[in-house]
């Protein structure tokens, strides 16, 4: 989990995409928020969803596997719900991700 979190964080920082990190290990409210905002069909068969999970505001985007696939297909901005500015890698909307 830690390696996946670092991978997402490193990508967002390297591409100057503004985001808000929600630490679910240290904050019960963040943990509750993440669990409530992961859609039923994206939850594991048993137990709780594990981080990292990505959101655009409160809209669920996906887990690490979905992020990784989008990145491999050069479709990460579309996955994140952002428009890649021409000649720039700065996103305009605030992303949230639970780590």
Question: Does pTM top 0.75 for this prediction?
Answer: yes
Number of domains making up the chain: 1
How far from chain centre, in Å, is Cα 20? 10
State the pLDDT confidence band at 90, using cuts at 50, 70 and 90: very low
Q: Identify the sign of the CA torsion 46, 47, 52, 53.
A: positive
Domain at 57, CATH number: 3.40.30.10
Q: What is the pLDDT of residues 21-75, one digit of tens each?
A: 999 999 999 999 999 999 999 999 999 999 999 999 989 999 999 999 999 988 8
- Compute the 3-state secondary structure of the chain and give helix, strand, coil in percent, each to the nearest 5: 40, 15, 40
Domain that holds residue 86: 1-97
DSSP 41: G
pLDDT for 74: 85
Are 62 and 78 in contact by the 8 Å Cβ rule? The answer is: no
- For the CA atoms of 56, 67, 25, 93, the dihedral, rounded to the nearest 10 degrees, stands at -20
pLDDT bin (cut points 50, 70, 90) of residue 83 is confident
Cβ 11 vs Cβ 89: under 8 Å: no
Instruction: Indicate the SS3 state at residue 20.
Output: strand
């Amino acid at each position: 989990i830690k390696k996946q979190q670092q991978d997402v964080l490193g990508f967002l920082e390297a591409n100057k995409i503004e985001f808000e990190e929600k630490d679910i290990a240290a904050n019960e409210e963040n943990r509750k928020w993440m669990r409530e905002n992961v859609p039923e069909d994206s939850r594991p068969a048993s137990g709780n969803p594990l981080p990292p999970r990505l959101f655009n505001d409160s809209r669920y985007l996906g887990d690490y596997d979905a992020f990784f696939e989008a990145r491999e297909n050069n479709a990460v901005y579309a996955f994140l719900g952002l428009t890649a500015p021409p000649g720039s890698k700065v996103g305009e909307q605030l992303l949230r991700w639970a780590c």
